A = this chain, B = another copy of it.
Amino acid sequence: MAHKRNRRKIFKKGLPPESLVYTGHREDTPANVVSVSYTEAAFEEIQGYVAPRLEERKGVLWTDVRGLTDTKLIEKVGMDHGIHALALEDVLDTQQRAKLEEFDNGLFFIVHNLKIDCVALELHSEQIALFAGKNFLVSFQEDPDDTFAVVRKRVGDGIGRLRRKGSDYLAYAIIDLVVDSYYSVLDDLEAQELELENDLHQNGAAHTTKARMFALKRTANEFRHRLLPLREAVTRLHRTESDLIDDSNRLYFRDLVDHVAQILDGIDNQREMLANLEALYQAEAANRLNNVMRLLTVISTIFIPLTFIVGIYGMNFDYMPELRWHYGYFIVLGVMFCLMIGMLIYFRRKRWI
């Protein structure tokens, strides 16, 4: 994180507010554009960028830009679709929070495609920016992989409502796809948490358990910090009075709000379980210390007095009558044996052994 932010600091300090600088860390990715244009009847897919003629157009034109390194291209795409300079700046600054911004000619939405690395327990984020205008949608992805292939296929095959609806429903379909992937992240977190819990029950408060527990907590926190602004953004999308959203589609956006709330609920539950787990870990560690101390105390309490006794009869005084008794040695052994048995019974009663 620190690395990426530093880039922003270095590149942007002192530049005027709307300068276009890519602040991400995927610099060697070539930009890749797919244009899809469809009406209820027709469908066309073109590799590469096609300048739109928005005025005379019917149906929806979806321009999908993958990779953000070619700032020239992005500036041109922005200009052609009338995207405000501040929005374009946000497209390139990949440290943005999820948000909705309304412009006169379109809605600008930022969301992140999240994946969890279950080994290092890190959250990988790809920023996705959407600009939805009257009859067009532009999507900007940070990574070159074709995340939206599923949606494009659905448009192409005419499955579901996509072909019959406008650019707002297309935006919904894309955001829904991203939000659906969050369920996987939540599942992975839950699976990790359960594994940790089993680990704790089997191995006690081991060192590796602790490291994973804290890493998991950190990841869960980061996930939640991604979701909080998203909830706000999606709620505002549902409630916006912009006429770019068709009233018949509001139900779908309400469903989106619901999904995000459900995931947030899941992550909050997860965080409580992790807090529970941490308390359990601490109790386990304290318990372990208790056990260690108990063993030490049992051993010491039994043998220290005995050692004192044998020490007495190791003294070299000229006159020590017991030493002369014929069975003195066995009497002392017997006394010590009884003492030991007595203490063992005492500790057993106290449930220490």
Contact = CB atoms under 8 A, between A and B. Distances in A.
Interface of A: 1-2, 5-6, 8-9, 12-14, 16-18, 84, 86, 95-97, 99, 101, 103, 150, 154, 159-162, 172-173, 176, 180-181, 183-184, 186-187, 190-191, 194, 207, 210, 214, 217-218, 221-222, 225, 228-229, 251-252, 254-255, 258, 261-262, 265, 268-269, 272-273, 276, 278-283, 285-290, 292-297, 299-301, 303-308, 310-320, 322-329, 332-333, 352
Report copies per complex: 5
Nearest to A225: B269
A353 to B, nearest CB: 12
Given A86-B251, A300-B296, A2 B290 contact: no
B293 A296 contact: yes
Contacts of A323: 316-318
17 contacts: A2-B190, A2-B191, A16-B161, A17-B172, A225-B265, A285-B287, A292-B297, A293-B293, A304-B304, A304-B307, A310-B311, A310-B312, A313-B317, A316-B323, A317-B322, A317-B332, A319-B328
A150 B292 contact: no
Contacts of A322: 317
A5 B314 contact: no
Contacts of A2: 187, 190-191, 194
